[in-house]
Amino acid sequence: PAALCALGALLGLGCGCFGYRCFKTVMFLSGLLFGSAVIFLLCYQQRVLESALSLEASAGIALGIGLLCGLLTVLLRSVGLFTTGLLLGLVVATAVLATVSPAQPPASPWVAAGVALGLALLCALAALRWPRALTVLGTGVVGAAAVVVCADYLAEGPALVGFVVARLRRAPGAMCWPGWALLGAWPALSALAVVVQWKVTA
């Protein structure tokens, strides 16, 4: 896991600093990540032929379909832009909901899901309208989020992810000061990545 986290942090750094320059690579990674995550969650929760799929089988199916989604996003530019905007919206919506949910928990989980889906679709459609700006913004924010999550995993295990999931489930969650420091560094890293791309690499 530590090697995978280091690789994820390097990919996040590359995505954040060279996202628009390496457009096709970022599109492939966006499709791979999005497709694999969605299919893994669906496969791992579902029962097939009266038995639950194992973790390895779910991961294999998710990786195969994720590769197909990655190829689709590379070959069709509009699908790649839509996926990048969708990821940006989901990351921002998750951060907003995790911040707001303890203070004002939504009456229903469908409200949170609707907010996340609405913001994700708004960002996806905006990426189709303004491709350069939203690609730079999306890759900067998602790349910085990947760096923060991987750094948190290397520092104290998956504490930050567990904290965000607990907040989204409206359960009490606690986090140590390194997690708070990394969480506070995420907007600064996002802004730095966007500025680097806009001024230097894009």
Give residue-wise pLDDT tens across range 144-160: 888 888 888 888 777 77
Global model pTM greater than 0.85? no
> Structurally, how many domains does the chain consist of?
1
User: What local confidence, expressed as pLDDT, does residue 185 receive?
Assistant: 86
* Sites in the chain below the pLDDT cut of 70: 1, 44-52, 101-108, 173, 202
Give the largest CA-CA distance in the chain. 55
CA distance 29 to 11: 9
Q: Are 148 and 126 in contact (CB under 8 A)?
A: no
Domain boundaries, position 8:
2-201
Closest by Cα among 142, 155, 132, 133 to 190: 142
Q: Are 154 and 6 in contact (CB under 8 A)?
A: yes
Tokens of 55: 């973790």
Chain segment 13-36, per-residue pLDDT in tens:
888 888 888 888 888 888 888 888
Closest by Cα among 74, 76, 195, 78 to 137: 195
CA distance 189 to 167: 23
